[in-house]
Structure 1
Amino acid sequence: MSNFLFNEFEPVSAKEWKQKIQVDLKGADYNETLLWKTNEGITVKPFYHNDEYVSLTTETNVKKFSICQSVFVDNEKTANKLVIDALNRGATAIQFEANEPFNIEILLENVIASGAKQSLQLYFKFNFLSLDFINELLEKTKNRKIFLNIDPIGNLAKSGNWFTQSKEKDFDILKNILLKTSENVSVLAVDVSLYQNAGATMVQQVAYALAHVNEYFNFILNDNVTSSAVEKPIQFNFAVGSNYFFEIAKLRAFRYLFSLLCQEYNFNTESHIFTTPSLRNKTLYDYNVNLLRTTTECMSAILGGSDVVSNAAYDSFFHKSNEFGERIARNQLLILQNESYLNEASQIADGSYYIEALTEQIAEKALAIFKDIEKTGGFVKQLIEGTIQRKIEESAQKEQEQFNNGELILLGT
C-alpha cells in the first residue's frame, strides 16, 4: 500500500488542462461556454487545480455535530412530552422557542435525566427579553451547558424595534446577564438566518454576520463589560440553501473571518454554528420534494462545520407540529451521522480545490463589505437607516427576476 499508483503518470498543469479543453471545444469560446458568474460576483470555472490552490485556516473543534429538535413552547406539559420523545428517538440537543415567559420546572421535568447520557445541550430562542426570567432559568439549569441565544440587534433587524423599545435598556439587560453567567452558559447570539431567508447573497450573509457581532464586541469594549464575557462561545444561527458547494464554503469562510476578527480584538472566542435549512426554497404543493432539499442542505451544513443542525420537517409549512414529519427530519440527520459516517471525521471539506477556492472568494468579498459597513458607522446605524434592508431586497428581487426569466430553475414546485 506504500506504492502510489499515480506516481507513474506525469503531473498535468492547469495550463495544460485548459489547452486540452480548448481543443475539445472545437473553436467555441472557453470563457463564454464554460465560465459562469454567480449573484455573489464569483466566477465559477470548469475545473480547479493544485497550481491555484489556496487553503484558508478554518479550524474547528467540531468532531460530531449535534442533532437538535426545536420545540415551540405554547403549553409546557405538551412541549415537555415532545422533548422527551425526541430525546428517546435520537435527538442530542433541544431548542426551546417561546414568545413569553413559561414555567421552567414543568417544561424541563425529566428532560435533563432523559438527555444525561448524551451530554444534552439546551438552546433557547426567546422572542422577548426579561432579566428576571433569565435569572430564574439560570438558577434552575445550573451546571448545564445552555445557549441563551440573546440577540437584541437581531430583534431590531427582524421587527424594527428593540425588545424593550430602547437600545440602552436592551444592552443594559444584556450586560447584567453577561456579568453573572458562568462559563458553561453561552449568552450572545447572531441570527444570520434572518438575512438568508430574506434573500441576501452568501457574501452578504457572511459580511452582515461579522458586522452584527462586531457591534457586540464594541459594546463589550466600550461599556466596561469584562473581557471574560466573550470567552464563551457565541451562537451564530445560519440558514443553508440548496447551492450545495457554495453553502459549505459560506460556513467555512465565516469561521475564517470570525477568527480574524477575534484576533484583532485579542478575544479568545469560539463561534458555535447552529444551522437550519432555508425557508426560501420550500414548496407547499409538492412537499415531498422538501425531503430532498433538506437532506442536501443538512449535508452542506455538516460539511461546512456546523456544531449543531436542526432539520425542518418536510411539512412544517402547513403543520405546526407533526410527529411523523419531525421524526423523519431527525432520521435524515441520523442517517447522515451514522450511515454516511459524517460524524467520523472533522474538516471533511479540506483539500477540495473547488471548495477552497469558493471559500477564499466569499471571504474576500465579505470582508470588503464588512469594512465598508464599518466605515459608514456600523451595522446598527445601517439597519436604522434602512441600508441593509435595501441591499437585501435588491438581491432578493434580482434572484426572483432570474427565476421569472428562466435563468434560474427550481425543480419540484
Structure 2
Amino acid sequence: MTDQQLNFTQEFKKPTPEEWKAEVERALKGAPFDKKMLTRTYEGITLRPLYTSHDWPSAWDPSGFPGAMPFTRGGTAAGSRLNDWDVRQVYSHPCPVKGNATILHELNCGVRSLMLKFDQAAQAGLDGDAPGAAELAGAGGIMLYSVDDLDRLLTDVDLRLVPISLAAGGQSLAAAALLAALWRRRGVGAGDAKGAFNADPLGALAAGGSLPASLADALAQMAALARYTQATYAQVSAVGVNTTAYHDAGATETQDLGILLATAVAYLKAMTAAGLTVDQACRQIAFTVAVPCDQFLGIAKLRAARKLWARVAEACGASEPARAMRLTAVSASRMMTTRDAWVNMLRTTVACFAAAVGGADAVVVQPFNAALGVPDELGLRVARNTHIVLAEESNIAKVIDPAGGSWYVESRTDEMARAAWNEFQGIEKAGGIAQVLTDGTLAAAIAKAWSEREAGVAKRRDPVTGVSEFPNIGEAPVATEEVDVAAAKAAAGERLRATRAKNAGPKVEALAKAGAAERPAAAVVAAEAGATIAQMAQALGGTPVKLTALPQHRYGEAFEALRAASDAYRARTGVQPSIFLANLGAIAQHTARATFAKNLFETAGIAALPSEGFTDAAACADAFKASGARVAILCSADPIYEQMATAVAGALKGAGCEYLFLAGQPGDKRDLYTGAGIDDFIFMGADVLKITGSILARLGVIAR
C-alpha cells in the first residue's frame, strides 16, 4: 500500500490537434476528412468528430449554475434532484367515463399530472350533438362540453394534488372556465388549484387553421384570461407557448426555438398591454416543445431554450427569478411510426432521457401506439414506466444537468442558441410571428425544411428503423384501444340534454354583455351554471379568422403509404407484390447484396423472393418463371457480375422479366450492363422511395 498519488498520463506525450488529425487521415486512406468526419445538420450546424477544452472555456463557465442566469443548467437551483421531473400524460379517449377509469389507474401507477385534450368539436366551439359536429365529435380528443362532463372525467381525482393542463385550441377561455367551475364545485381553494389553461391562439391557428375571433381579439382574450388567472390562482398559468404544431409540420429544431421565442414575445406584449407587469406576464407562460430521439440534439435544444428565453425576458425588463422558463418536453410525434410501432418504445425512451438530462420540468412520453389511434393500456403503461425506470432505476435526476461541462454538449447548446436567435430575429424583422404565420412565409420556410428532410429519408441518409430499414412485411397489426364512437356520442348527447336543463341562459347572456376584461370571470360563472362550450363560444362571439393549417408529417409516412398500398393490393388480388432475387454464385458471394436488396424493396411491401446461388443463366431464368414475379434483381459480387451478368440478364428478359435491377454500382460497366438488358441499379445513397414507388406503379399497385 502507498499514499503516493499516481498520475497515469504523466509518462505519455500529449498529442496536438494537428497530430490527431494526421493520424485520422492515415486511417481514412485518402478519403476526404471533411466528407467522412464532419456532419452537417438540418439546422445548418456542422458537428465535428472531436471536441476539446478549446471549444468551451473551463476556467470560466458561461452556463453558470442551475437556477441562475442564464438558466442553461436549469430553472431551479435543485433541478429534479428532490422530486424527479413531473410525469405528465395526455388523455384523449372520447368517452369521459372510460377516460376516468384510465386516469385513476394511471395516477395510481406513477402519473403525476394530466393533460386533457378536447375533441375537435369542442375546439371548434361546438357541442357534440350540434348538426355541424357529426364528424368532429370524439375526433382527436375527449367529449368535454360542460362542467358536468369534466366532473365525470375527473371523478375521484384529488384536484388539490393533481395539476390539470388543458389543450382546447381556440376555445381556451371556455375550457378554462369549465376547469375553474369544477374547482369551485369541488371546493378547491384558489390557492390550492394547480394547472395550466394553455391559451395559445397563435399555436391554435397554426395547428387548426382557424380561430373563433380575429387574432387581435384572441390575443386580447388571452391577456384578459392571464390577468384573471394572475389575480385569482397562485399555482395556475393562463398562457401556453406550444410549438409542436410547427415541429410536426417539419420545422428544424432551431426554427422551432425561434418560433417559440417569437410567440412568447407576442404574448408578453399582449399581456403587458393589458396591464400585467413583465414579471407577472412571464410567470403566466408555460412552454411546451417537442424532443426528438436524437439524444444530444434534444439535450442541447432544451438547454438552449432556457438560455434564449432568459435573455429575452432580461431584455424585456423581467427580474432574474421571472426569467426562468417553465418547460414541458413532449416526445416528438414526427418520429413515431405506424409500421413496426414497437420500435417507438426505443425512440420515446431516448427522447425521455434527453428531456430529463436537458432539465425539462415536465415530460410527456407518447405511447408507442399513439400514431395508430387511441393508446391502449399497454401503450400507456410502457409510456409511464419509461419515466419510472429512467428516474428510479437509472437515477437520471440524481445529478442536476449531468451533461453540463461536456465540451460537446456545451458547444452544441451554444451553436443551437445562436442559430435559433437568428431564426427569431428573422421572424421579428419580418413583422413578428403573427405576420409570418398569416402571410404564409413561415409555412413556406417550414415546408422547405421538411422537403430537405424528406430527401434524406427517401435516400435513407436518415434511416427509420422498421420502416425504411429492416422492414417486416409479415408483421402483425399493433393493437390500440377499441372505441365505440357511436355509444360515446349518444352518452354525450344525454349529458348535454341534462346540462341544458339547468338553464344557464341568463349567465350566458351576462357573458355576452361583459367587457373584455370581465369575460373570464363571467365565463366561469356561466360554466358553473351549466353553460356548454358551444353556448360560451357563441356568447364570446367574434369574427372568425382562417388560414391553411400546417400539415402534420412523420418521417416514415411516405414509405408507410407504399406499404399500405401493397397491403391493399394483396387484400384485393390475393397476391403480394414481389421481386425475384436472382442470386449468382456461392452464398458468400451473393448474401450481402441479396440482403441489401431484400431490405430495400420490402420497405415498400414488395416481397423479395429468395433463390439459391445460380451458376448458369438458364437455371436462373427457369426459377424466375416459376416464381411468378414480373421484376427481378441480380445479386452478387462484382467479379461474378463480370462473368455472368450479361448472360443472365439476357436470359431473364427472354423469360419475361419486365424490369431488371442489379445490386451495386456498375462503375465503368454501366453501358455494358444496360445494353444487356439491365434497367436500373440500386446502391447506398439511391432514392429508395422513388425506386420502389416506380416498381409498384409498374406492377399496378399504385397509379403511375
Give the alignment's TM-score, normalised by structure 2: 0.55
Which residue pairs with 1:121 in the alignment?
A: 163
Which residue pairs with 1:323 in the alignment?
A: 377
Structure 1 segments unaligned to the other structure (5+ residues): none
Distance 1:130 1:200 in 2: 25
Which residue pairs with 2:364 in the alignment?
A: 310
Amino acid paired to 1:87: L
CA drift at 1:311: 1.1
SS of 1:317's partner is: helix
Which structure 2 residues correspond to residues 259-338 of structure 1 after superposition, within 5 A? 259-267=310-318, 268-338=322-392
Which residue pairs with 2:49 in the alignment?
A: 46
Would the alpha carbon gap of residues 170 and 25 (structure 1) be closer, same or farther in structure 2, given more than 3 Å must change? same
**Per-residue displacement from partner, 1:317-339 (whole Å, max 9, x unpaired)?**
22413112111111111111111
CA drift at 1:6: 4.8
Which residue pairs with 1:111 in the alignment?
A: 157
Would the alpha carbon gap of residues 380 and 366 (structure 1) be closer, same or farther in structure 2, given more than 3 Å must change? same
Which residue pairs with 2:112 in the alignment?
A: 92
Which deviates further from its counterpart, 19-28 or 282-291? 19-28
CA drift at 1:33: 2.4
Q: Which residue of 190, 204, 210 maps to 1:155?
A: 204
Which structure 2 residues correspond to residues 344-383 of structure 1 after superposition, within 5 A? 344-383=398-437
Would the alpha carbon gap of residues 78 and 398 (structure 1) be closer, same or farther in structure 2, given more than 3 Å must change? same
Which deviates further from its counterpart, 179-188 or 8-17? 8-17
CA drift at 1:234: 2.1
Correspondence 1:177 to 2:228 = no
Counting aligned pairs with the same residue, the percent is 26
Would the alpha carbon gap of residues 283 and 105 (structure 1) be closer, same or farther in structure 2, given more than 3 Å must change? closer
SS of 1:49's partner is: coil
CA drift at 1:167: 1.8
Correspondence 1:67 to 2:67 = no
**Matched positions, count:** 408
**Per-residue displacement from partner, 1:283-321 (whole Å, max 9, x unpaired)?**
222111111111111111111111111111111222413
Would the alpha carbon gap of residues 11 and 321 (structure 1) be closer, same or farther in structure 2, given more than 3 Å must change? same
Query: Contact 2:250 / 2:450 at 8 angstroms: preserved in 1?
Result: yes
Would the alpha carbon gap of residues 406 and 83 (structure 1) be closer, same or farther in structure 2, given more than 3 Å must change? closer
**CA-atom RMSD in angstroms:** 2.3
Q: Which residue of 240, 245, 248 maps to 1:194?
A: 245
CA drift at 1:226: 3.8
SS of 2:171's partner is: coil
CA drift at 1:146: 0.8
Distance 1:125 1:109 in 2: 19
CA drift at 1:22: 3.5
CA drift at 1:121: 2.4
Amino acid paired to 2:292: G
Which residue pairs with 1:391 in the alignment?
A: 445
Amino acid paired to 1:340: S
CA drift at 1:85: 0.7
Query: Contact 1:233 / 1:272 at 8 angstroms: preserved in 2?
Result: no
Would the alpha carbon gap of residues 25 and 153 (structure 1) be closer, same or farther in structure 2, given more than 3 Å must change? same
Would the alpha carbon gap of residues 371 and 347 (structure 1) be closer, same or farther in structure 2, given more than 3 Å must change? same
Distance 2:380 2:7 in 1: 47
**Per-residue displacement from partner, 1:22-64 (whole Å, max 9, x unpaired)?**
4444544322321121121111111100122155520312312
SS of 2:328's partner is: strand
Would the alpha carbon gap of residues 49 and 79 (structure 1) be closer, same or farther in structure 2, given more than 3 Å must change? same
Q: Runs of at least 4 residues of structure 1 off by over 4 A?
A: 1-7, 9-13
Would the alpha carbon gap of residues 11 and 146 (structure 1) be closer, same or farther in structure 2, given more than 3 Å must change? farther
Which residue pairs with 1:17 in the alignment?
A: 20
Which residue pairs with 2:99 in the alignment?
A: 79
Structure 2 segments unaligned to the other structure (5+ residues): 64-71, 123-144, 468-704
SS of 1:129's partner is: helix
Which residue pairs with 1:134 in the alignment?
A: 176
Distance 1:129 1:5 in 2: 65
Query: Contact 1:185 / 1:232 at 8 angstroms: preserved in 2?
Result: no
Give the alignment's TM-score, normalised by structure 1: 0.92
Would the alpha carbon gap of residues 372 and 13 (structure 1) be closer, same or farther in structure 2, given more than 3 Å must change? same
